[in-house]
Copies of this chain bind each other. A is one copy, B any other.
Amino acid sequence: MKTMKVGALIFPGFELLDLFGPLEMFGMYPENFDIRLVAETGDPVTSSQKPVSLPDHTFADGERFDLLLVPGGKGTRQAVNQPVIMEWLQKQSEIARLITSVCTGSALLAQAGILDGRKATTNKNAFKWVSGFGTEVQWIRQARWVQDGNIYTSSGVSAGTDMSLAVIADVLGMDKALQAADWTEYFWNEDPGNDPFAVKAGLVPDR
């Protein structure tokens, strides 16, 4: 397999685990996933929890990616209104082989029009806000993550790590996904339908 270039979007107020959970898992196979952080400019980017990351690429540098990763976090409230982010997502989504988002990152994809005609999910406590974006998105209330074609959207924060292992299973095979979980001593929730947090958030009745 040709190495997939992973373009992970960062913006002020991104959520640490949304980003670094999936990147930990993709990072188990550096020969398959070449990880790069991408931001509007080359300046340091402060996360929602305060630790600061340095981007490897800027929107303007023309780099194209095979796999997009869009984290959520408090910063999505601003990012969703930034045309430069929407344009970058639209341009990249046209050529990316796979598109992934974690938590409220799906609000950015929806606002960019990338989820129109697709099923998608998001953070359960932010469901009302996120599901206001996108004109023809079929928002799924209860799901750890949702795959629709080449787009994977996960539920809140930790769900992104579970989703990333599903992506690895689809790209490299289930044995590689299980191996990554073992190496990182991760209890993988393999079932995309296992979402007790939708019940806790009152989005679906407790059955």
| Contacts from A to B (Cβ < 8 Å) | 8, 15-17, 19-21, 23-24, 26-27, 30, 35-37, 44, 48-54, 56, 123-125, 155-159, 161, 182-187, 189, 197, 200
17 contacts between A and B (CB under 8 A): A15-B24, A17-B20, A17-B21, A17-B161, A17-B184, A19-B20, A20-B21, A27-B48, A30-B49, A37-B52, A51-B53, A52-B53, A52-B54, A125-B183, A156-B183, A159-B185, A182-B197
Number of copies: 2
Q: Is the CB of B54 within 8 A of A44?
A: yes
Least distance between A73 CB and chain B CB atoms (Å) = 10
Q: Is the CB of B157 within 8 A of A24?
A: yes
Instruction: Provide the bound-state CA to CA distance between A2 and B37, in Å.
Output: 35
Residues of B within 8 A of A158 (CB): 184-187
Least distance between A166 CB and chain B CB atoms (Å) = 15
Least distance between A13 CB and chain B CB atoms (Å) = 12
Residues of B within 8 A of A189 (CB): 187
Residues of B within 8 A of A186 (CB): 157-158
User: Which chain B residue shows the least CB distance to A195?
Assistant: B185
Instruction: Provide the bound-state CA to CA distance between A149 and B103, in Å.
Output: 36
Least distance between A14 CB and chain B CB atoms (Å) = 11
Instruction: Provide the bound-state CA to CA distance between A184 and B24, in Å.
Output: 17
Q: Is the CB of B185 within 8 A of A124?
A: yes
- Looking at A21, A189, A200, which has the most chain B CB atoms within 10 Å of its CB? A21
Residues of B within 8 A of A183 (CB): 125, 156-157
Supply 14 further A-B pairs (C-beta < 8 A) apart from A27-B49, A155-B185.
Answer: A16-B20, A16-B24, A17-B24, A17-B161, A19-B20, A23-B49, A35-B50, A52-B53, A52-B54, A52-B56, A157-B183, A158-B187, A182-B200, A187-B189
Least distance between A116 CB and chain B CB atoms (Å) = 25
Instruction: Provide the bound-state CA to CA distance between A2 and B156, in Å.
Output: 30
